[in-house]
Amino acid sequence: MLLGMSAGIWFCLIVGAVVLDRLIGDPAWIPHPIVYIGKLVGFLTKKLNKGKARKFKGLILWVLTIVITGAVILAVQYITYRLNIVLFYVVNLYLLSTTIAAKCLQEEVMKVYDALRDKDIPKARTMVGYLVGRDTQELQEGGIVRATVETTAENTIDGVLAPIFYMFVGVVLWVFVPFVNPLLLAMLYKAVNTMDSMVGYVQEPYKDFGYFSAKIDDIANFVIARIGSWFMLIGGLFLGYRVGEGQRIYARDRKNHKSPNSGHPESVVAGLLGVQLGGTNLYFGQTLEKPTIGDAGRSLVYEDIKDTISIMFSSEVVMMVLTGLIFFGIYIVS
């Protein structure tokens, strides 16, 4: 067993990481590993995204980022374990928490909400521009809310549920492959997701260079986008949202997106809130046509941003409770 760790200890660290993220999020004064992964991706992109064979160079970017990230995480785990077991636990707890972005996402999204509440449309455009890849400078209030709700729904999977999912996958795989552990898998997932968010666009200059980053991110999110959407529906049920509409829109519109995964959480939120998402957007000055998701029963309002955050947190709780029950059941049986 890796470093004498048990599945029970890993489970406790995962629960602790979720709680730690909820309490403190990502304080600016503490070094954040995902920021350094982003710097690595940015550095390699500047070196590689030019000339010919850009698709192959994009694959080199992916391999180098994964290898470097994995090597650093395993090295940190080994060194801290050799130094002090308490230090090892603390470092793993902190690093696990950095892969979960619930608190950080809430804080950034609420900046858009606050600007809209104060009727400061220019500021709201700027704030949402930090969250999405589309052009935001011409957006009016409805478009700003739509962009914010969509990115919050998508990041409920990418930034919250998927890292936790890979942590639990790591607990299972760790039993069979000792060095494959929850932190390693969660951090590798974040590396995959970071590459997609930085270079995984269909527009130039990333069309060929970001091909592998986008496709592999789609694969990494395929399972959890579907399972996680049901967690969101269950969370919406407990919050008193329109779960029947959520199920109906999810069944009808989950494939109404160019991404094989993003339409799943977006359709859940659209149904739960009774709004319409999707449609045409501008990216790097280029128009991208997208199908709509949900029914236009009413106009989007800035309170929908808060409601989407509530769905995000409730789905996180549902996931932790259900996974905890599964692990407890396995423990009892064994």
Question: Which pLDDT band holds residue 332 (cuts at 50, 70, 90)?
Answer: confident
Question: Which pLDDT band holds residue 98 (cuts at 50, 70, 90)?
Answer: very high
Q: What percent of the chain is modeled with pLDDT above 70?
A: 95
| Weakest-pLDDT range from 52-61, 113-122, 129-138, 218-227 | 129-138
pLDDT at 136 over 90: no
- Give dist(CA 287, CA 299) in Å, integer: 23
Best CA proximity match to 258, nearest among 223, 231, 283? 283
Query: What per-residue confidence (pLDDT) applies to 107?
Result: 95
The mean per-residue pLDDT over the stretch 18-33 comes to 90
Query: What per-residue confidence (pLDDT) applies to 334?
Result: 61
pLDDT at 285 over 60: no
Q: What is the mean pLDDT of the chain?
A: 92
Q: What is the pTM of this model?
A: 0.92
Q: What is the DSSP string of 92-147?
A: HHHHHHHT--HHHHHHHHHHHHHHHHTT-HHHHHHHHHTT-SS--TT--HHHHHHH
pLDDT at 254 over 70: yes
Best CA proximity match to 266, nearest among 302, 298, 299, 290? 290
- Give dist(CA 142, CA 157) in Å, integer: 23
